[in-house]
Structure 1
């Protein structure tokens, strides 16, 4: 009798499981049919012009590869589709909007309807926590308000002694490398400037952001620096399959971590333990002083803690949330600035006449305080007033400003970004769009977009649009900044006229002043000392991995991210 009841129970259980399985499969099939066949037929982006694709063909390669996108964008916008079109994401069913119409981009980047996709936020959040760069809505606005005081012009100028200190340390390290690598007849050598610049900007942010000495310029063994580098080296080389696993099946990384997962988790623990200790120590020091800052307490961590303590208790960030902001700034601030400087040196090496002009301007500039030019070590510095005066003098150099702006225009650290519509919307256009059925969306008309659709923001493409910059838009020409065409003067994006390198709208980079001044100080310190030339037999390509990084063609797998240049001492 008991056996019969048991068999009946298992038979009933099996039927229930079978029914659930059938329902699950049926639901999956309905979802798949809707995704591939039904929804695309009613997608309003379907009728926009754009490249065609086979069933599962993707255009990600064409729109995300900075090695080919200048030509692709030029061809699509000027010869085939106009300024606003659609392309295919994960297949023919996946319509995505791309536009070079500034009115379209302004609407998308300023409207609350559009947010960073959850995939982007999860990917960044996995490494950096819930920082300002992957938050949206009210949380994002509150964080922007909190961090604002840390990036005012006055606050950034107060950090200038750190910029000068680390720039001079880099100069001295390179001088030693040139001496070691040069022959008797030629004081020059070739090495990876990308790596050295990255070490410098990491050190800068360590002091300016955390009041912490990474000392990466002298020794790369410091545990937090090493943890960041190992973690992002893994991230930069992650396959698409690995990224998809991290996004859609994060539980796998926790239950069955592979060796790379274990290294990443260990690095995150190291960063978090050190960061929490720094925050606690700094907060205790500030509380002991009753919020009064001495002249030396200008680091971003101090400013954030002071601002946080000034809030109502219910609005204060936890230590974990403060650490997430610092991790985000450390990644975005150090890496993006390092890439901006690296690409600028690369361009200067290719245009020696521009390099000579820039060096002459820097060397001819009067120094407001001779002590600023004196050497400093990691424990000594000149007065803050002197450094601010020198920073003002560097910022006033017109050709240095033009060179850096132009480098950021043609080689932005971020190649592009994506937004997703959180509701159905009408996007205004300023340029007519000819639909595939021959109908025209006229100027001041609207494009319909449905909830869940992706919008690609082509940062590099906007920076090099011929309609804005003229027929030489893809060329490096700093002189264009002395006589900007009317089309390049409005609207003004943060820090740069009509250049999207710092983005636009509520997601614009809050640290653009920091990045520009740091880059100018480093360039102004290096150019009077060294001449930069292309490395012999080396061709540099661009690799898109969150940011646009340099690599030696045909050696990406074995050489990794690098930009070797031949460097020699400047002799007047």
Structure 2
């Protein structure tokens, strides 16, 4: 009995010590988070808006309907570089519109995507390119490079034409059913899903014809989950304690797991089939001529140093990521382009006339070539003619500038650093930071890069920066000419540096070809007042119907040439 009492006394003392230790550690953590760290943070002396202890400025910066006004107000008041409050006045974060600073941050190994972002992407898509950092990202980026060269992208032209024509025919069929108000987002997403399936993996989802294919439906459910995001207390707990999801999965987690199970099962079959075909066709994989992204990825993987080859699991993660990113960004690119054309009828008419001029100037005066009947050479030649159209090019660039599929991005400083600036910044104490001095930043600080904000910056694009004006591309201001990204001047929509979008050529080409096929046949006019919200990418919605999710109803009628 005495021994039991002694044991209990020791146990109570141990529990008390653990409790007191945990309490002290908690108090130290709270003291450091809310008092000491903000006091020592060099950003405290950088200009920016103030707020109460728990006030956040993220709402006005992350909502694309509000952020242009917020960006303009703050840059006028605080300059190109300023700090703001994340989740309270203790959470100093940096935002910059200085292209020198932006270029440095996005190309420096000092800055990585926050672990929270990478964990969310890994949970949703696996260890794909978008969730990797450091050497792993560098190796994978190099490995997938051949799949996104100009030559590889050019090989997708017949597929893009084919699916654009199928989309045109489906829209025409809807009009025959007396349906003139069409959710263009839905139909374009189905078409681009077919494109990325065939061009990326030689896999036909048949999404335009029938939304019943198992893998397609799994992806659609995955997209819906991505729209919801890890919201609420449960989402935060899972982010910081991933074991909760494994031990007590909720409905959202089960949905993701079910979708990934379907996708990975099909992916394993496609992956193994292609690998066997490649090995059977040529002993030397460097001579394989397959053009789809997966074949090129397998080819590069087989040719790589065995110690640097990717496992099947990592290859499957790239499939999931590339389909997710390749479909969403391009479908929204095309959707926003049609929306902007509907809002600007004079520009729509002018672009249609330019596209129809291809037919008028052809030697046969016949209709535009069809993917189903034309030779590949004919389709390539027609695509070249489309790419050479100056006003179409201007419309596409301006769409990308105004409606960036990705609203913004965020990085974390992995060590204390000095961010270079191109123009002076006045500290809150009245002193000045002049180049070549820069903004001091401590390890762990979040840095926000406003991609759309830079695209609409008056300092870069002029006083009319927030207007949709394709003609600006024939006479860009000097500040917008020096290209940060090849081919698209200072447009930040595809980001830049090691984490820039590898599929920018494919997305741009696909958008041009779809618009060239659709616009000569239809007239688009607004049907509802449309807003936008951020859910990984920037999605449209009907302002009075946010609960219905991403939609862009538009009035469609056939175009009859006089």
Aligned alpha-carbon RMSD (Å): 1.7
Structure 1 residues 36, 294: CA separation in 2 closer, same or farther (over 3 Å shift)? same
Q: Show the 5 A alignment for 1:22-33.
A: 22-33=20-31
Out of 300, 309, 317, the residue aligned to residue 316 of structure 1 is: 309
Determine the C-alpha separation between the residues in 2 that align with 1:225 and 1:472: 41
What is the CA–CA distance in structure 2 between the aligned matches of 1:510 and 1:556, rounded to whole Å? 32
Residue deviations 1:527-551 (CA, integer Å, cap 9, x gap): 001000000xx21111111110000
Q: Which runs of 5+ in 2 are unaligned?
A: none
1:158 equivalent in alignment to 2:182: no
Deviations 1:131-182 (A, max 9, x none): 1112111111111111111111111001111100100000000000011125
Q: Following TM superposition, by how much is the alpha carbon of 1:445 offset from its aligned partner in structure 2, in angstroms? A: 2.0
2:182 matched residue in structure 1:
191
Tell me, yes or no, if the aligned pair for 1:430 and 1:443 is still in contact at 8 Å: yes
* Mapping of residues 548-563 of structure 1, within 5 Å: 548-557=538-547, 559-563=548-552
* Distance change >3 Å, CA 368–CA 192, structure 1 → 2: farther
How far residue 18 of structure 1 moved from its aligned partner, in angstroms, is 1.7
Distance in 2, matches of 1:434 and 1:277, equals 59
Which range moves more in the overlay, 126-135 or 95-104? 126-135
Q: What's 1:478 paired with?
A: 470
Counterpart for residue 564 of structure 1: 553
How far apart are residue 12 of structure 1 and its match? Answer: 1.0
What secondary structure does 2:430 align onto? coil
Total equivalences in the alignment: 557
Q: Structure 2 vs 1, CA of residues 329 and 518 (structure 1 numbering), >3 Å: closer, same or farther?
A: same
Distance in 2 (CA, whole Å) between partners of 1:113 and 1:285 is: 42
The alpha carbon displacement at 1:384 in A equals 2.7
Deviation string 1:433-488 (CA, Å, 9 cap, x unpaired) is 01110011123321100100110000011001101111100000000001111111
Rounded to whole Å, the distance in 1 between the matches of 2:129 and 2:367 is 35
Q: CA deviation at 1:285?
A: 0.5
1:237, CA displacement in angstroms? 2.1
Distance in 1 (CA, whole Å) between partners of 2:375 and 2:301 is 29
Aligned position for 2:169? 172
Write out per-residue CA displacement over residues 374-400 of structure 1, whole angstroms, 9 at most, x where no aligned residue: 545xxx564332222222111111111
In the other structure, the counterpart of 1:428 is 420
Match of 1:206 among 172, 197, 221: 197
Structure-2 separation of matches of 1:347 and 1:22: 61
Change (3 A) 1:393 1:192: same
Q: Given the two structures, how large is their TM-score scaled by the length of structure 1?
A: 0.95
**Which consecutive unaligned segments of at least 5 residues does structure 1 have?**
183-188
Matched-pair contact (CA < 8 Å) for 1:418–1:455? yes
- On the 8 A contact 2:423/2:434 being kept in 1, the answer is yes
Conserved? CA contact 1:132–1:325, under 8 Å: yes
8 Å CA contact retained: 1:230, 1:267:
yes
Secondary structure (helix, strand or coil) at the match of 1:162 reads helix
Distance in 2 (alpha carbons) for counterparts of 1:369 and 1:225: 40
Asked if 1:40 is matched to 2:32, the reply is no
Please give the residue correspondences for 1:417-456 in structure 2 after superposition, counting only pairs within 5 Å.
417-456=409-448
- The 3-state SS of whatever aligns with 1:408 is helix
Is residue 164–residue 514 contact of structure 2 (8 Å, CA) maintained in 1?
A: yes
Q: CA deviation at 1:4?
A: 2.2
**Superposed displacement of residue 244, structure 1:** 1.7
